[in-house]
Structure 1
Amino acid sequence: MIPPIIPPNAAPGERLVFERLASDPATRDWTVLHSLELAQHVRQVQGEADFVVIVPGKGIAVIEVKSHRQVTYDEQGWKLGSQRPTSRSPFKQADEAMHSVRSYLMSRNVQLRDTLFVSGVWFTHVRASLPASPEWHPWQILDRSDFGLGAGRAVLRLLDNGRAHHGGLRALPPTPGPDPQKTKDIIKSLRPRVELATGSADLRRERNTQLTSFLEEQYDALDAMDGNNRVLFTGPAGSGKTFLALEASRRETARGKSGWLLCYNRALGMDLEKRATGAPLLNAGSLHSTLRSISGLDVPDDASDSFWQGDLVDAALEKLLDGGFERDFLIIDEVQDLAAPGYLDALDLMVKGGLAGGRCLFFGDFERQALYGLDDSHRTLTARIPAIPTYTLTANCRNLPRIGETVKVLAAMSPGYRRFRRQDDGFQPRYYWYRAHDKQDKLLGQAIRDLRDDGFELGEIMVLSPRKVGSAAAVCRDSWLRRVLVEASRPVPQGHVGYSTIHAFKGLEAPAVILTDIDEPLLPQFEALLYVGLTRPRDRLSILATKEAIAPRVLGGQS
């Protein structure tokens, strides 16, 4: 399927045909283009082909889809659902789209002498009992009953009947096309990769200008809640929570206040600390590194969760109870990961007035980004701070719209983002399919080269995996990849590509992200990991996955 996902706002009939064709084993070697815009239409300025189905050795079927639950054809013309009657037949629409596709391919010097073209109309929600007419052939009609027999079988019947019909009109070659090479030529002509000459520096300048303007609008959230001493800001990934946390810290220190800016994730903590450089009244970093500094404990080589969540917290609490660590304000980013009783006990002693009475601002996503087993983190937090005012962020100011739409589909976001602040650039996320986990080297190399060809520097690319051990980047055997890839627990040298787990990169972002190892949908918290990984890129998203892992999410649970 090209593209491999269908937009959420697609007509129900188009979605149904997409899902059934994608999930039918009979279509495994087929290529299906959907929503193909026809800038060179034979009849009008611009048109669209709902589906162009390319079947090797059989031909090409151009299908018009009608989702209406009531279809009437009489002397007044066609009446589809509640639409006004029209004299333009859907079969004429399909035929014109077919001729537009064929004419365009011929203009691109694609040889089509051996390739059959047929058109048809799929009435997806009715049983189409249409009378005989010179406007169409009975074999061009597909309807609701065809889904029971199999979508692939219905298209094959359309092509076979079309071949029988045309066979009586002209001689057809004994070995019909398209063959594999012809199929590639057709796809390349109809859905070419768009290559823009915009340089990486231009992309960075444009992105930074956009983000500055969008985040200034997001800062209105801080202004709106400024009269409240404690506020919980919630919102999905990409809604600007980390930027708001940094801006809130800047505003507080500008008033001469001292405070903490803390998070759970180590890498995010290092990023916050780096951004807070030059603010002497602000202590920024991860909570664990802060508790280590307070307690003076050394981290054992075999440190486990019991150390980080037990021994370290207990040792820090002893020091905190002695006093001297209270600050004027407390700001927590990714608070859903820190809303555990022990952590909250420590935080309560770190701000004047405590959590219930001090100046506390919390930023979090309690719906999808809780990766550390704190399923009741929202309830735990609000129990400590009853009636805390909440401000909900719904606009995405990080991801380009096509990335955001992919997140909504693959991660089943509901209701999803209210709007996207950034303007779409026309680039679809790229999918690289594999069958065996250990066969990703070539695809990973290709994904990196594709991004480099798009104008991204190697240092702007991050490779993320849900696997802590044995990720594609960590175990790659390709000599070039082994020279280029660097584990991102330390600063990535210029001219290299960083790789990390999704866990470790949580809260951060990169211009271009490649997700690998998307092949274990039964992995604990797979959906949350997928969501976090998908939302990290600002401009480009590439996914290395098995179809078995992704298809059920695209197709609403069908296999």
Structure 2
Amino acid sequence: MARMMPAYCPNDAPPGERALYAALSSSSETADWIVLHSLGIADHVRQVEGEADFVVIVPEHGVLVIEVKSHQSIHRRADGRWKLGNDAPTTRGPFQQVRECMHSLRNFLERKHVDLRSVPLLYAVWFTSIRARTMLPEDPEWHAWQVLDSEDLRAAPAAVTRTLEAGTKHLNEKIKYFSYGGLGPDRTEAERIGSTLRPRFELATVPGDRRRARSSELVAFVEEQYQALDAVAENRAVLFSGPAGCGKTFLAMEAARREVAMGRRGRLLCFNRFLGKRLSADMSDVEHLRVGTFHQELLHLAGLSKAPDGADQSFWERELPERAMEALVEGGDGLTNDFLAVDEIQDLATEPYLDVLDLMVSGGLKEGRVLLFGDFERQAIYGNEQGRERLRARVPSMTSYRLFLNCRNLPRIGFQVNLLSKLEPGYQKGQFRRPDDGVDPSVLPYASRRDQSAQLVKAVRSLRDEGFELDEIVVLSPLGSSSTAETTPDPWLRQVLRPADGGPPRRGQLAYSTIQAFKGLDAPAVIITDMDRDVPNYESLLYVGLTRATDRLFALIESGTLRAAFGGHP
């Protein structure tokens, strides 16, 4: 199948564009093609801006710019104006539109120093609802080979190839030696044309990396993430796994958006409460999508506004899932969705939870549209060691896609994670999207817990001196009410510290949280406290805590624990 960019066709696209998109994306004849759909043209030769419906790049054949018209009727009046269906008459016909788009793209590619010699760059109009090839009379405005119609949709790849071959013949007749030495583009040139016309787009905004005047920085998806999104389009069920910082949550959100854009209803769920709050805020504009934590969804299905007082582990792990399953069975198709996307799946891959997820999606986990995202390195901090095996048993058609590139942390933070949390195989050189800025994380030993209050003040003031605002710093601990942030006697810290709630940081306030609650989120600067080898699940919690920092990291670690991390005696 062709590489479609984007990898989905929006449900609100005109019917002709949807039909052509489906014809090109599903054919085995387009295996090495690149197809750009709805390509915006900011620098148009005639208008303020324009758009090409399709740009089809076919190695060894050429590039075809296509204008798609879905109208049931076409008429050109005596005054030369075109009347397409119920649209208002216009003096700019479809052939003029697509010709201008082609010349705009040619100009752009040449400015980018893309060599188009012996590359046929042609245009055509595809009338997808009528037999235009027999209906349209001969006209000096177009060549017969530039007209495609409803019959051509039955063999769309062959129609594109036919058009390129006829156009190349025309160019050979008009341009001496045009195809001498062979036609392009070859596969490498095709990739360059595709990436030049549609460079990898930027998806979401997060705080900027230079902290003095920062307005915002766009976090760009890179090639690995695009290949992952292609995997979503090509496989029914996919498990995306990888270490912290490789963009799994961004992928989960974008994958869910694409599913909804194709007219599907679904759920986007996660495990962690703070992350659920963030996802709900970020995805609030997406219709037909239920977003939140898994347990919030269970409460909703069970008809509960909140958990009952005194709810214990048995309630969350057995009673609530059973009540949710009863509601799903009784509700039938009304409560079942077209797709299911789950972030933090490593913490939800238990038999009772998988039983509930099975009923949430049409076809169940075995045959349904299931998109799973998880970190099985060290983020399964709730003791779910067999999660991946359970998933393979419950989702036998699942394709696994491994992510490697760290898009969050600076390299020195990642390498410190390798060392302190004993991550295997760990982050490697070349696996970081962000360049190193030469600042090492600070690891501070403490002998007794009361020493940490002064160290915490020192770390915060050091970050402030570097230009970080208080609301860009988060203090994390494996402990709850007994953490350094909760118990500090320092009057200044007590004045500025506030518990994190999963919402946007508040100016002038220094947020603190448990590591467990902050999982799935990040902050420009992170200070980890209370790290002691006696803390249950120490290495996994340390891994999660350290990887929350995007730019600056301080870690306060008990001195014996720190010695052991470097191979010494505790």
Give SS of 1:538's match. strand
Q: By how many angstroms is 1:223 displaced? A: 1.0
Report the equivalent of 1:309: 317
For this pair of structures, how many residues does the alignment match? Answer: 356
Query: Equivalent pairs: percent with the same residue?
Result: 49
Q: Which runs of 5+ in 2 are unaligned?
A: 1-208
- In structure 2, what is the Cα distance between the partners aligned to 1:203 and 1:408? 30
CA contact (8 A) 2:475 2:511 kept: yes
Report the equivalent of 1:532: 544
Q: By how many angstroms is 1:386 displaced? A: 1.7
* Residue 240 (1) aligns with residue 240 (2): no
Q: Cα distance 1:279–1:396, how it changes in 2: closer, same or farther (>3 A)?
A: same
- In structure 1, what is the Cα distance between the partners aligned to 2:472 and 2:502? 15
CA deviation profile, 1:43-68 (whole Å, cap 9, x unmatched):
xxxxxxxxxxxxxxxxxxxxxxxxxx
Q: Name which of 425, 435, 438 aligns with 1:426.
A: 438
CA contact (8 A) 1:403 1:541 kept: yes
* Residue 223 (1) aligns with residue 230 (2): yes
Give SS of 1:477's match. coil
- In structure 2, what is the Cα distance between the partners aligned to 1:554 and 1:480? 34
CA deviation profile, 1:208-240 (whole Å, cap 9, x unmatched):
24x22x446523211144210000111001111
* Residue 385 (1) aligns with residue 417 (2): no
Q: Cα distance 1:490–1:534, how it changes in 2: closer, same or farther (>3 A)?
A: closer
Give SS of 2:234's match. coil
Q: Name which of 273, 277, 284 aligns with 1:277.
A: 284
Report the equivalent of 1:370: 380
CA contact (8 A) 2:246 2:406 kept: yes
- In structure 2, what is the Cα distance between the partners aligned to 1:514 and 1:382? 37
Q: By how many angstroms is 1:204 displaced? A: 5.8
CA contact (8 A) 2:301 2:324 kept: yes
Q: Could you tell me the TM-score, scaled by structure 2's length?
A: 0.61
Structure 1: which amino acid aligns with 2:324?
A
- In structure 1, what is the Cα distance between the partners aligned to 2:291 and 2:324? 17
- In structure 1, what is the Cα distance between the partners aligned to 2:502 and 2:352? 29
Report the equivalent of 1:148: none
* Residue 435 (1) aligns with residue 447 (2): yes
Report the equivalent of 1:347: 357
CA deviation profile, 1:99-121 (whole Å, cap 9, x unmatched):
xxxxxxxxxxxxxxxxxxxxxxx
Report the equivalent of 1:326: 336
Structure 2: which amino acid aligns with 1:476?
T
Report the equivalent of 2:456: 444
Report the equivalent of 1:262: 269
CA contact (8 A) 1:219 1:244 kept: no
Report the equivalent of 2:298: 291
Report the equivalent of 1:359: 369
* Residue 506 (1) aligns with residue 498 (2): no
- In structure 2, what is the Cα distance between the partners aligned to 1:253 and 1:536? 30
Q: Cα distance 1:224–1:319, how it changes in 2: closer, same or farther (>3 A)?
A: closer
Give SS of 2:550's match. strand
Q: By how many angstroms is 1:549 displaced? A: 1.2
Structure 1: which amino acid aligns with 2:285?
G
CA contact (8 A) 2:409 2:549 kept: yes
CA contact (8 A) 1:382 1:388 kept: yes
Q: Which runs of 5+ in 1 are unaligned?
A: 1-197
- In structure 1, what is the Cα distance between the partners aligned to 2:258 and 2:502? 30
CA deviation profile, 1:262-309 (whole Å, cap 9, x unmatched):
011111111111111111111111000111111113412222211111
CA contact (8 A) 2:242 2:375 kept: yes
CA contact (8 A) 1:215 1:243 kept: no
CA contact (8 A) 2:231 2:238 kept: no
Structure 2: which amino acid aligns with 1:495?
G
CA deviation profile, 1:368-404 (whole Å, cap 9, x unmatched):
1101121111111111112421010011110000000
Q: By how many angstroms is 1:356 displaced? A: 0.7
Q: Cα distance 1:432–1:303, how it changes in 2: closer, same or farther (>3 A)?
A: same
- In structure 1, what is the Cα distance between the partners aligned to 2:258 and 2:232? 13
Report the equivalent of 2:175: none
Report the equivalent of 2:566: 554
Structure 2: which amino acid aligns with 1:290?
E
Q: By how many angstroms is 1:469 displaced? A: 3.0
- In structure 1, what is the Cα distance between the partners aligned to 2:316 and 2:457? 37
CA contact (8 A) 1:215 1:240 kept: no
Give SS of 2:279's match. helix
- In structure 1, what is the Cα distance between the partners aligned to 2:422 and 2:326? 44
RMSD of equivalent CA atoms: 1.6
Structure 2: which amino acid aligns with 1:515?
I
CA contact (8 A) 2:270 2:294 kept: yes
- In structure 1, what is the Cα distance between the partners aligned to 2:553 and 2:230? 33
Structure 1: which amino acid aligns with 2:518?
F
Report the equivalent of 2:196: none
Report the equivalent of 1:200: 211
* Residue 250 (1) aligns with residue 257 (2): yes
Q: Name which of 402, 406, 409 aligns with 2:412.
A: 402
- In structure 2, what is the Cα distance between the partners aligned to 1:219 and 1:551? 42
Structure 2: which amino acid aligns with 1:508?
L
Q: Could you tell me the TM-score, scaled by structure 1's length?
A: 0.62
Q: Cα distance 1:199–1:347, how it changes in 2: closer, same or farther (>3 A)?
A: closer
Structure 2: which amino acid aligns with 1:300?
P
CA deviation profile, 1:120-157 (whole Å, cap 9, x unmatched):
xxxxxxxxxxxxxxxxxxxxxxxxxxxxxxxxxxxxxx
CA contact (8 A) 2:477 2:528 kept: yes
CA deviation profile, 1:331-358 (whole Å, cap 9, x unmatched):
0101000001111111111111111111
Report the equivalent of 2:555: 543
- In structure 1, what is the Cα distance between the partners aligned to 2:477 and 2:339? 36
Give SS of 1:417's match. coil
Structure 1: which amino acid aligns with 2:299?
R
